[in-house]
Structure 1
Amino acid sequence: MSLIRAFPGLRPADGRAEDVAAPPYDVLSEAEAREMVKNRPWSFLHISRPEVDLPAGIDPHAPEVYAKAAENLAAMRREGVLTTDSRDCYYVYRLTMGAHTQLGVVAAASVDAYDSGRIKRHELTRPDKELDRVKQISALNAQTGPVFLVYPSDERIDDLLRGAAEGEPAMDVTASDSVRHQIWVLSDRTRITALTLLFDELPALYIADGHHRSAAASRVAAQRKLANPQHTGNEPYNYFLSVIFPHKQTQILDYNRVVRDLNGMTVSQFLQAIGERFQVESVDEPVKPEQTGHFGMYLDGSWYRLVLPESRIPSLDPVASLDVSLLSHEILEPVLGISDQRTDSRIDFVGGIRGLKALEQRVDSGEWAVAFALYPTSMNGLMAVADAGQIMPPKSTWFEPKLADGLVSHLLE
């Protein structure tokens, strides 16, 4: 089986992309989603967050929610808002956020490659979130939320994609966050074959974001394989919807932390404990770390620069050397008593897209005692963890820009 393959995408009809495109389902609260669909009857949120069409407060995992998603998808197809291409295609996807641009491809990625570890993961998944995606895929008979993958940058692939992204795109949408989404349809048989073969030469693909979606696709594929005595391996359920970018073009922002209290210490006692592990410097401006082992800390109305001696940074362990791990091992666990960031309510996470001002606001509100600004995890660091078969700490990466939902979906029909 090929690592990736072209497929007949379900996508907005000509001129309807702006009506349909929506933020990823998992970046919005229910209240935000309900607000976004006002006066937008064809927003893909009616499919990805169908509770917006049901009474407020409904359990988003109730059977009627998944049924509503299927009903809304059928309506959008029936009304011609969404149409299906008549032949297998790849879809070249350009994301632009300010000065940053990345160019990749929407493709169907092999479930077998995921199951065998050739599509590599770096996060643990939660069974309840997996089950939610399994139910969504099964209800829709389609994968509508793409998995964000990266490939080790290859100039031959990059060049082919650049060549395909010439002329007028089939879709061109600038979202409310000013991110521009452009898609070109690649239907030429020669270039499709060339792209498929080039990907087959790659040693691996890496999941950047979408561990629950890929795990759910694997579970659905296993279920359908068992239920299909005529299984051949070519059925659509053997592949999952993905958008794949070269690793050198992806952008990971910092993923910062706020902690609710100082574990019983006064401010001076806490600073003394930090000073036993870090070089601590009081500064007049917010601190945005510029290298591994450097942290910003906002405490009691003041910013501090924390520098961890290089001798305390593990050089051979790809997980222990991550800044999120260094913060955990040097401050969160031994000083603040936070041993499990997944479950401890004393810690929260703030995506770097919100800026350092958001950290000040959280602490100044009085609800949080201290904030830490981190140096972003690198793409090479993520790949090293995945190559080693290890798992990253929770909330290690914040990818920007985000993909849009609804521009291309993968039918399992």
Structure 2
Amino acid sequence: MARIKPFKAIRPAQDKVAFVASKSYEEYSKNELKSILKYNPFSFLHIINPGFKFHKNITGKERFALVRNRYLEFLEEHVFVKDGEASFYLYQIAKGDFKSLGFFCACSVEDYRKDVIKKHEDTIHRREQLFADYLYTVGFNAEPVLMTYADDSSISHLFQQETKHKPVYDFTSTDKVNHRLWRISSKEVISELKSIFEGMDALYIADGHHRSASSNLLAQKMETEDAKHTGNEPYNYFMACLIPESHIKIYEFNRMVRDLNGLSKEEFLIKLDASFRIEKKEDGLYKPTKKHHFSMYLDGEFYSLYLRKTKYQFTDALSQLDTQILYKTILEPILGIHDLRNDKRIFYGFGKHNLIKMKDSVDKGQFAVGFSLVPITMEEIKSIADAGLVMPPKSTYIEPKLRSGLTIYEL
């Protein structure tokens, strides 16, 4: 049973929403950040980068307190307004032929603890604790956890009816993405949505494992401090955007390694031959199209690597994952990369033209070899999560990427 609830969102004023909503901080280059902070006083980036006002890089608890101050200033200056009644918020993202329709709601920390909300990535406790401390000080969620649910015709019908109404937001950001938001405040619709989700066995985190884990830590801390704790307090929930599985797009991360671990090209190929049938490709760029097939770029040439299944055993859902196969057959035993998250010899790339970028990086001598994979499927993500297993880092790049500051949930 998945529990969701509406909330009274803090939202940008209608005439300022296009200026407020921002991508995740990490997605901007230094020059982009500097330009936005200098010329757009309404950007949500001013809240999460409060040191800009003082021309100083501020970190730790001091930064957290200043984030809280900037947030309160946005409220005082009516850049943000608070809705008067609890609502769900239907959110559509569209760019080119890609369109995704989901909704913002509050999800239960208890569901996270009971594995109703399922995970497929590992988290770093240090980062969990840091963000929990951040939430404790600032008192709000501004970046939702992206979660998926099984497509449901009843939900689709409800949303189709809601989108016939005029949206409260309709704007296009500078990256040519159109954003629309509808507020669902009808008690009947809210009750029906809650009832449908109560009948679901699971929700799956697509993006935001650290944010959900940190919300759990925050709730644990607040429970011990709140003598009147009931389980219904805002800190027992966190903001999420729930999207049907068919509206999620999953892309692959390529892997590039700086050296061949002391091996010559010929020695490296001989070692690969134990686990793969190797074919040199003569037709320019080569990208794999099937599971357990890989593309490799080495010394100016593309190769296809076909897994020798007689040499590799599938034992569980994780062992069948291409990112895991690459790790267990090449990256760890041959190239000596044991820590995929922290080893400086490996780099991950994604994007529409990433195969070309991978080739160019190897040709320039920045890396010795590159590997391309086919994207992981939603079914594989669910199999990993249902089995309580963890994917290797950088196994998926998932869209849509949600904006920060579009709706805010106060804890």
**Superposed pair shares fold, TM > 0.5:** yes
1:15 matched to 2:6: no
SS in 2 for 1:288: coil
Structure 1 residue aligned with 2:302:
303
> Which range is displaced more, 375-384 or 350-359?
350-359
Q: What letter is aligned with 1:157?
A: I
> Which range is displaced more, 298-307 or 369-378?
298-307
- Deviation, 1:200, is 0.9
Structure 1 CA distance, aligned partners of 2:289 and 2:311?
18
Q: Which runs of 5+ in 2 are unaligned?
A: none
TM-aligned CA distance change 1:313 to 1:206, over 3 Å: farther
1:300-351 CA-partner distances (Å, limit 9, x unpaired): 1222222213445655511111110011111111221112212211111112
Structure 2 CA distance, aligned partners of 1:237 and 1:407?
20
1:204 matched to 2:202: yes
TM-aligned CA distance change 1:314 to 1:179, over 3 Å: farther
Matches within 5 A, 1:59-138: 61-138=59-136
- Among candidates 132, 146, 151, match of residue 144 of structure 2: 146
1:359-411 CA-partner distances (Å, limit 9, x unpaired): 12321231211111111111111111110011111111111231111111101
1:171 matched to 2:156: no
TM-score, normalised on structure 2? 0.94
Structure 2 CA distance, aligned partners of 1:311 and 1:55?
61
- Deviation, 1:9, is 0.6
Structure 2 CA distance, aligned partners of 1:312 and 1:25?
44
Structure 2 residue aligned with 1:345:
344
Structure 2 residue aligned with 1:370:
369
Structure 2 residue aligned with 1:249:
247
SS in 2 for 1:86: coil
Residue correspondences, number: 410
Structure 2 CA distance, aligned partners of 1:97 and 1:285?
30
Contact 1:47 1:72 in 2 (8 A): yes
- Deviation, 1:89, is 0.3
TM-aligned CA distance change 1:53 to 1:288, over 3 Å: farther
- Deviation, 1:202, is 0.4
Structure 2 residue aligned with 1:42:
42
Contact 2:288 2:373 in 1 (8 A): yes
Structure 2 CA distance, aligned partners of 1:66 and 1:352?
33
- Deviation, 1:54, is 4.5
Contact 1:97 1:401 in 2 (8 A): no
> Which range is displaced more, 71-80 or 151-160?
151-160
Percent pairwise identity: 37
TM-aligned CA distance change 1:38 to 1:210, over 3 Å: same
Structure 2 CA distance, aligned partners of 1:164 and 1:150?
20
TM-aligned CA distance change 1:316 to 1:174, over 3 Å: farther
Q: What letter is aligned with 1:297?
A: M
Q: What letter is aligned with 2:161?
A: G
SS in 2 for 1:320: helix
Q: What letter is aligned with 2:210?
A: H
SS in 2 for 1:109: strand
TM-aligned CA distance change 1:285 to 1:179, over 3 Å: farther
SS in 2 for 1:153: coil
Structure 1 CA distance, aligned partners of 2:405 and 2:50?
13
Q: Which runs of 5+ in 1 are unaligned?
A: none
Contact 1:21 1:404 in 2 (8 A): yes
> Which range is displaced more, 377-386 or 27-36?
27-36
TM-score, normalised on structure 1? 0.94
Structure 2 residue aligned with 1:27:
27
1:93-147 CA-partner distances (Å, limit 9, x unpaired): 1122321111111000001101111111111111222123213212221111110
